[in-house]
Amino acid sequence: MPSTPAIIFIPDISGFTQFMSTLELEHASHIISSFLETIVQQAESKFEVSEIEGDAVLLYRKGAMTSKDEMLSLCTDIFKAFHLQRKSMQQVVLCHCGACQSIINLSVKFIVHAGIISEMKVNRFIKASGVDMIIAHRLLKNGIDSNEYILVTDSFIQQLQDTTDPSGLLWNSSSEVFPSLGKINYQYALLENLKSSIPDPPRYEISYTAQESAMFDLEIEAFYKDVYMTLIDISGRVRWLKGLHKVTTEDHHPSVGSLYRCYFDDVVVEVTPSIVRHMEDEIFYAETIIVEASTIYTVNEYRLRPVGKGCQLSCRILALDGKELHESTHAFLLEGLQRSCIHLKSFCESTTISKD
């Protein structure tokens, strides 16, 4: 295919290498894939995807941009969408694994370059190539002391008809020298201030009164974080919760606000993870329990603490605000919760023995 002038655009996820070095590769891959989808959704109306390289999306647009502001607006829109998504995920993540707890360290930077590309067709795929694609890719490794910025090369700026920038970003000039490619001049603007201005998304909230109520305590000979991970795997409860035959959900990655329908012999129980707090040497977790057929609207609270070589599990049942929980019903539900915790204990201890 013939060569053509184009804008080359690379949004790159910062912190990717350290993030993917964690052992929880399945969760890490799911999270990165979600962020890459967000980037592509923001950009695909104006750019074509050449390829995705793990942590970066290589995009191009044949022809020129009408203004610098058009390009910067796209960058800032992606940046805001990325961090709004990151904040949302941080708020609702249940998993205690290294990947899920490291979402906070991820960010995004941008490379913008103008040059000549060639399109190569391989089967049904079209990939852009050429020296300028290499230059844009090399610029991901530069001397900027930040991992949140927009970098635009002089080649991009020179082809603009309008170079006004109403974004309020502060620009610096710099350059890089690459073997066989020579000196590449560019301007860059840091995005830390923009990041700090992004509001927190609305939190998922439930309303109940954490009053004094009967507490059930149980010691489990297993690491408290392993017990917690077993507990929040609601779909996996069919392996240890007696009488539970099937669990359905539309969420494949458990999070606060996810809805699970648990099918027992003669009742369907709706379970929604509602609160999680990871503290030093303690995890607090609560889930909403709704049984419409029996007009049951409660919250199960769980606290897990390390004790000796195992952990202590403490739990109780409280009513959602505005809902009644009669004493007899509370006693019945607490007895059922106690049996469930004993099944959880047996499963976790047997799993620990098999690991050893």
pLDDT for 140 equals 94
For residue 30, pLDDT beyond 70:
yes
- What is the SS3 assignment for 273? strand
**Phi first, then psi: what are they for 143, rounded to 5°?**
-95, 10
pLDDT tens for 39-78 read 999 998 899 998 888 889 999 999 877 788 889 999 999 9
pLDDT, position 82: 95
Write the CB contacts of 132 (distance below 8 Å, at least 6 apart in sequence): 6, 8, 113, 114, 115, 116, 117, 155
What's the pLDDT at 121?
77
Q: Is the pLDDT of residue 291 over 90?
A: yes
pLDDT value for 304: 97
Residue 231: predicted pLDDT? 96
pLDDT digits (tens, 9 = 90+) for 129-149: 899 999 999 999 999 999 999
Q: At 103, is the pLDDT very low, low, confident or very high (cuts 50, 70, 90)?
A: confident
| pLDDT bucket at 96, cuts 50 / 70 / 90 | confident
Whole-angstrom distance, CA of residue 301 vs CA of residue 290: 14
pLDDT of residue 129: 86
**pLDDT band, very low/low/confident/very high, at 102 (cuts 50, 70, 90):** confident
CB 324 within 8 A of CB 194: no
Range ranked top by mean pLDDT from 67-71, 112-116, 210-214, 252-256: 112-116
State the pLDDT at residue 356: 52
Mean pLDDT along residues 280-291: 95
Strand partners, 62: 6
Secondary structure class of 232 (helix, strand, coil): helix
User: Range with the lowest mean pLDDT among 28-37, 72-81, 312-321?
Assistant: 28-37
Of 302, 305, 261, 299, which is closest to residue 284 (Cα–Cα)?
302
| 115 C-beta neighbours (distance < 10 Å), count | 21
The chain-wide mean pLDDT, for the chain, equals: 89
List the chain domain ranges: 3-196, 216-355
- What does the block give as tokens for 15? 């912190």
Helix-helix angle 68-92:25-43, to 10 degrees: 150
pLDDT in the model for residue 1: 59
Q: Would you tell me which CATH number, out of the four given (3.30.530.20, 1.10.10.10, 1.10.510.10, 3.40.50.300), belongs to the domain 216-355?
A: 3.30.530.20
- Whole-angstrom distance, CA of residue 235 vs CA of residue 34: 21
Whether 287 shows a pLDDT value over 80: the answer reads yes
Radius of gyration (C-alpha) of the chain in whole angstroms:
26
pLDDT in tens, 230-274: 999 999 999 999 999 999 998 777 789 999 999 999 899 999 999
Choice between 317 and 65, residue whose per-residue pLDDT is larger: 317
| 172-197 average pLDDT score | 94
163 or 250: which carries more pLDDT confidence?
250
Strand partners, 110: 11, 150
pLDDT of 141: 92
E strand intervals along the chain: 3-14, 48-52, 57-62, 107-122, 125-129, 149-153, 171-178, 182-190, 216-220, 246-249, 260-263, 268-279, 282-291, 296-307, 310-319
Given a cut of 70, whether residue 163 has pLDDT beyond it is no
Residue 175 has pLDDT above 60, yes or no: yes
Q: With beta carbons less than 8 A apart as the criterion, state whether 45 and 95 touch.
A: no
DSSP string for 92-140: HB---SHHHHTGGG-EEEEEEEEEEEEEEEETTEEEEESHHHHHHHHTT
* Secondary structure (3-state) at 351: helix
Q: Is 349 exposed, middle or buried (0-12, 13-18, 19+ CB in 10 A)?
A: middle
One-letter amino acid at 197 equals S
How far is it, in rounded angstroms, from Cα 330 to Cα 218?
A: 19
Q: How many CB atoms lie within 10 A of CB 326?
A: 9
Average pLDDT over residues 69-95: 91
β-pair partners for 173? 187
Fold annotation for 3-196: Alpha-Beta Plaits (3.30.70)
Q: What is the pLDDT, as a whole number, of residue 31?
A: 84
